[in-house]
Amino acid sequence: MRDGRDAARRATQRGAAPALVVRGLTVTFAAGRATLTAVDGIDFEIASGEVLGLVGESGAGKSLSGAAILGLVDAPGRVDGEVWLDGRRIDTLDPAAKRRLRGREIGAIFQDPLTALDPLFTIGDQLAETLRTHFRLAPDEARREAVALLQEVGIPGAAARYSQYPHQFSGGMRQRVVIALALAGEPSLLVADEPTTALDVSIQAQIVALLGRLARERGMAILLVTHDMGVIASVADRIAVMYAGRIVETGTAAEVIARPRHPYTKGLMASIPSLADDRARLAQIDGAMPRLGAVPAGCAFHPRCGVALERCTRERPVLVADAAGGAGATACWRLADG
Amino acid sequence: MAPPDVATPRMRDPDERALVELERVSKSFDVSPPWLERTLQRAPRRALRAVDGVDLAIRRGETVALVGESGCGKSTLARIVVGLVDASGGVVRYDGSPLYGAGVAADAATLRRARASMQMIFQDPYASLNPRWRVGAIVAEPIVAADRSRSRASVAERVATLLEQVGLAAADRHKYPHQFSGGQRQRISIARALATAPALVVCDEPTSALDVSVQAQVLNLMADLKERRGLAYLFISHNLAVVHHIADRVLVMYLGRIVESAPRRALFAAARHPYTRMLLDAVPDPLRPKWRDAGDADGTGNGAPRLASELPDPLDVPAGCGFHPRCAFANARCRVETPVLLDVGDAHRVACHAVAEGRVAPRVAIPIAG
């Protein structure tokens, strides 16, 4: 299994330096005698300063992939495959080392900003404490750093709000505080799991713009896990579409959204109501994503696919680069066979 | 007073008559601190005005969408329409006769008839179905409640028909809700809502908890049912793209008040109220990622969708127009005088001083299909 290291080295030689390389990431759960595969051998990398959008519907395994990278999948869950961060393999580290890594080299933000903050401490104390956990700072230095971070994430009157409690912040401002906390360790990777789902659209737009700016300015890689194609289109550089634990299509955001190629991505994009069209009916993909333990053989999408071949029912398709020369790749026999 | 036929010209067309009508409906919630605290700290009583003087009419077969951010009062208004929440002021009329409201005492027969004609679908298909009841019992309950003399066989037959109409199998009535996916559960909710053959279905964020491909299935089903049964919908949503897809008419709500109301096309092509424009600018639309790589020069992360601050505290609503602290067009008048809805032509009504005074130029229509 030298695959991940080689990919990391090759990319470093090219100068692209992927912050994160993921190879064959698999998450399984033992359920009685059966093994349920929630994430089924996914590969991707994210360069520094790049935003990768990992999209999919509920149950596609996208959040679990994020949790596996963070080392947050606990027993009975089991993680296989390789995760490389800045050229170092991190999935094999012991729990204490993983714990040190989180917050320091990998930041994480989640959907609900309120549960991520301690209601009994001021946000300034929480930030300063986090900073002093990661760096040797005197209290007044930590305070200065914390105020600077609050300013960086766009909290007006940062110095004054330093001594306020989480309940004194609105939802959008809380999510900014959570982002500031995640930035405290100056991570090279930020895992953002549905960071805007709990927010109103007007606030959503601000948070998404903020994440894009942070990736560019700090050269931080961002893994943005979301179901919202609109959010992805606004900020992601590349997209990986997941279905039933597998990546079925990757490509640049512009490419995948404007010209989806995989039948699932096509159906997904066509089912989204848009202000830009006026259809009487939305395209719909009949049926639902298979449950864990009931993933069909071959291509997991074949029972819902309008163009499935006989081969799709038997053989699992692999990601194949776009023959037409695009940057994307799809896992589809129909596309591979022409 | 003008002769009746001049005063209410649209009443002459029976199809144009309002099925449900709300007149100056308000709802305040008492959120005062407890009695002891009030006494000791001389704290005053506090009221949260969730809905503030709303007029609304829904015609037969019409889909009226109510949009706004969290906390604007849209769900409270929906619950007032179906009678789940009592209004503190104003009147709700059904088919012309007063139903709910201050000082209204509708007789039992009118109430029963009106309740059967107005049903509701809730956002969370996991919380709105009793997990201990079989689907058949869930769908049968409103049928039995409306007509206790109905035979068991005929109820069962009706349940089977309803389940088939929403795309489930008649045999599904023996199963429990947990055996269904989110989209299927929402279909069960729809079947239950249709059980009494209503004329209006109030839908509170019916697809917000669903994945987009499942959302498409449910929205298509709702469109089919509307066509087949002439249903009217009051569709509550924060998702403007969904509203654009399904609505005939759109009402925009802000801090308990309707700030703009227009036929769908007029609203999406030529929104007038600064708040509506702000909402439209913020819609994350994959096909029009207009604020992608937005210049973030001011360093606030606000980027291109220049959105000033957030929704004010509903307990501390700004004086004058509630939107003025976030509005680029606000002036002294906006800070003291509450604007009322004014007609700007073509059934398009806006509550905004800046629009009325011509301080907001009608924006050149955004190219929107249709």
B307: pLDDT strictly greater than 60: no
pLDDT the model gives residue B313: 73
Query: B109 vs chain A: nearest CA distance in angstroms?
Result: 38
- Chain centroid, CA B33 distance in Å: 30
- Give the other-Cβ count within 10 Å of A118's Cβ: 13
- Strand intervals (E) in chain A: 18-31, 34-47, 51-55, 77-85, 88-89, 106-109, 189-193, 221-226, 238-243, 246-252, 320-321, 329-330
pLDDT band at residue B306 using 50, 70 and 90 as cut-offs: very low
Arithmetic mean of pLDDT over chain A: 89
Rounded mean pLDDT, A298-312? 93
pLDDT the model gives residue A4: 58
pLDDT the model gives residue B120: 94
Assess contact for A240 and B333: CB atoms under 8 A: no
Instruction: With CB atoms and an 8 Å threshold, state whether B212 touches A272.
Output: yes
Rounded mean pLDDT, B331-350? 92
B367 upstream amide cis, omega within 30 of 0: no
> Which positions ≥6 away from A263 have C-beta within 8 Å?
A301, A305, A306, A307, A332, A334
pLDDT the model gives residue B13: 45
Query: A98 vs chain B: nearest CA distance in angstroms?
Result: 31
Q: Return left, alpha or beta for A87; rule: phi > 0 is left, psi -120 to 50 is alpha, else beta.
A: left
What string of DSSP letters covers B117-164? HEEEE-S-TTTSS-TTS-HHHHHHHHHHHH-TT--HHHHHHHHHHHHH
Q: How far is CA A331 from CA A26, A59, A314, B127, B245, in A?
A: 17, 19, 14, 37, 32
Nearest to B291 among A234, A273, A279 (CB): A234
Q: Return left, alpha or beta for A310; rule: phi > 0 is left, psi -120 to 50 is alpha, else beta.
A: alpha
Closest CA to A107 of A271, A277, A223, A262: A223
Query: A219 vs chain B: nearest CA distance in angstroms?
Result: 15
pLDDT the model gives residue A289: 85
Assess A179–B contact: CB distance below 8 Å, yes or no. Answer: no
B14: pLDDT strictly greater than 60: no
Q: What distance in Å separates the CA atoms of residue A3 and residue A1, rounded to the nearest whole number?
A: 5
- Coil/strand/helix, residue B277: helix
Closest CA to A53 of A42, A61, A62: A62
pLDDT the model gives residue B283: 80
pLDDT the model gives residue B367: 46
Which two tokens mark A250?
């990757």
* Residues of chain A contacting residue B239, judged by C-beta atoms under 8 Å apart: 201, 273
Assess A231–B contact: CB distance below 8 Å, yes or no. Answer: yes
Share of chain B above pLDDT 90, in %: 52
pLDDT tens-place string over residues A141-173: 999 999 999 999 988 888 999 999 998 888 888
A3: pLDDT strictly greater than 70: no
Nearest chain B alpha carbon to A56? B211
Please give, one letter per residue, the 3-state secondary structure of A278-336.
CCCCCCCCCCCCCCCCCCCCCCCCHHHCCCCCCHHHCCCCCCEECCCCCCCEECCHHHH
Which value does ipTM take for this structure? 0.78
Arithmetic mean of pLDDT over chain B: 84
pLDDT band at residue B363 using 50, 70 and 90 as cut-offs: low
A338: pLDDT strictly greater than 80: no
Instruction: With CB atoms and an 8 Å threshold, state whether A285 touches B300.
Output: no
What string of DSSP letters covers A183-199? HTT--SEEEEESTTTTS
Nearest to B213 among A203, A230, A267 (CB): A267
B291: pLDDT strictly greater than 50: no
Residue scoring higher pLDDT (A300 or B366)? A300
pLDDT the model gives residue B294: 44
Share of chain A above pLDDT 90, in %: 63
Instruction: With CB atoms and an 8 Å threshold, state whether B284 touches A279.
Output: no
Nearest to A282 among B70, B216, B282 (CB): B216
Which two tokens mark B45?
């009583």
Instruction: With CB atoms and an 8 Å threshold, state whether B282 touches A205.
Output: yes
Rounded mean pLDDT, A221-250? 93
pLDDT the model gives residue A199: 83
Instruction: With CB atoms and an 8 Å threshold, state whether B301 touches A201.
Output: no
> Which positions ≥6 away from B107 have C-beta within 8 Å?
none
With 0.90 as the threshold, say if the pTM is over it: no
- Coil/strand/helix, residue A257: helix
The residues with which B261 forms a beta bridge, in sequence order, are B251, B349
**Which phi and psi (to 5°) does residue B309 adopt?**
45, -155
A203: pLDDT strictly greater than 70: yes
Residue scoring higher pLDDT (A289 or B273)? B273
For testing contact with chain A, the best of B310, B323, B326, B327 (most A CBs within 10 A)? B310
Listed range (A93-107, B230-244, B268-282, B299-313) with the worst mean pLDDT:
B299-313
Nearest chain B alpha carbon to A267? B213
What is the bridge-based pairing of β-strands B349-350 and B257-263? Answer: antiparallel
A292: pLDDT strictly greater than 80: yes
pLDDT band at residue A7 using 50, 70 and 90 as cut-offs: low
Closest CA to B323 of B261, B273, B362: B273
Helical pair A171-183 and A139-152, crossing angle rounded to 10 deg: 130
pLDDT band at residue A16 using 50, 70 and 90 as cut-offs: low
Assess A229–B contact: CB distance below 8 Å, yes or no. Answer: yes
Instruction: With CB atoms and an 8 Å threshold, state whether B305 touches A205.
Output: yes
Q: Which of residues 208-267 of B touch A (CB under 8 A)?
A: 211-217, 219-220, 223, 238-242, 244-246
Name the CA dihedral angle for A270, A274, A276, A277, rounded to a multiple of 10 degrees: 60
Q: Return left, alpha or beta for A271; rule: phi > 0 is left, psi -120 to 50 is alpha, else beta.
A: alpha
* Residues of chain A contacting residue B305, judged by C-beta atoms under 8 Å apart: 202, 205-206, 209
Nearest to A234 among B213, B280, B284 (CB): B284
Query: A329 vs chain B: nearest CA distance in angstroms?
Result: 20
B152: pLDDT strictly greater than 50: yes
Rounded mean pLDDT, B150-159? 93
pLDDT tens-place string over residues B68-108: 888 889 999 999 999 999 999 999 999 888 988 877 888 88
Assess contact for A248 and B261: CB atoms under 8 A: no
Assess B57–A contact: CB distance below 8 Å, yes or no. Answer: no
pLDDT band at residue A280 using 50, 70 and 90 as cut-offs: confident
Which two tokens mark B266?
């007029």
pLDDT the model gives residue B94: 92
Instruction: With CB atoms and an 8 Å threshold, state whether B287 touches A257.
Output: yes
